[in-house]
Amino acid sequence: MTKLTNVTYDELSIGQTASFSKTFTEDLLVLFAEVSGDVNPVHLDAEFAATTFFKERIAHGAWTASIVSGAIALEMPGPGSIYLKQDLTFTRPVKVNDIITVNLEILEKTDKSKAVLIKCEAVNQDGKTVAVGTAKVKAPTEKLVLDRPSLPVISIASNS
């Protein structure tokens, strides 16, 4: 079983970086529509999406926000982090099958609260920024090494 570990407040330094990537597949887009409740046709209906400003289906902006939080929760600081605040500006659309990489960088540390300010930038496979902002996170003070939970198999019926 793979392990998850964290970077404690004391181990974090200004300028420290981490990254996390995910492919925005068709199947995951359907799951995101289900969990967010956002069934907007610009995400789900190719014919309608072709008539919009974007010319084709786009992934939900909040999905990019979700993998930013995934990067924080798994990579830096990782397990034991408490998510306090997030701001994100969406600068470019994400298309189906784009590979999005979240790059994190520690900007500030606040010793009293053990909070860190993290720069968050999401870029696509062409290196173009799709979202940028900052997160404020209470970093863990204790080192954790945990079993990585495995998710059950998820199946999506073919939409005929």
Between 4 and 107, name the residue whose CB sits nearer to a copy of itself: 4
> In this structure, how many other beta carbons lie within 10 angstroms of the beta carbon of residue 12?
20
Answer yes or no whether residue 5 interacts with a copy of itself by CB under 8 A. Answer: no
Q: Which is nearer to a copy of itself, 16 or 61 (CB)?
A: 61
Closest CA to 57 of 45, 39, 70: 45
- CB-based contacts of 105: which residues, under 8 Å, 6+ apart? 15, 16, 17, 118, 119
Kindly identify the residues of this chain, within the stretch 51-80, that bind a copy of itself according to CB under 8 A: 52-53, 60-63, 65-71, 73-74, 79-80
Report in angstroms how near the CB of residue 2 gets to a copy of itself at its nearest: 10
Site for a copy of itself in 100-129 (CB under 8 A): none
Structure tokens that stand for 28 in this block: 């995951």
- Based on the shown chain and the rule CB under 8 A, indicate whether residue 89 belongs to the binding site for a copy of itself: yes
Q: What is the closest distance, in whole angstroms, from the C-beta atom of residue 9 to a copy of itself in the complex?
A: 14
143 to each of 8, 38, 110, 139, how far by Cα in Å?
6, 37, 19, 11
Q: Is 11 in the site for a copy of itself (CB under 8 A)?
A: no
**20 belongs to the binding site for a copy of itself (CB under 8 A):** yes
Please return the burial class of 141, using the count of CB atoms within 10 Å of its CB with bins 0-12, 13-18 and 19+.
Answer: exposed
Closest approach of a copy of itself to the CB of residue 130, in Å: 12
Residue 114 to residue 12: CA distance in whole angstroms? 10
Q: Which stretch binds a copy of itself (CB under 8 A): 10-18, 24-32, 104-112, 115-123?
A: 24-32
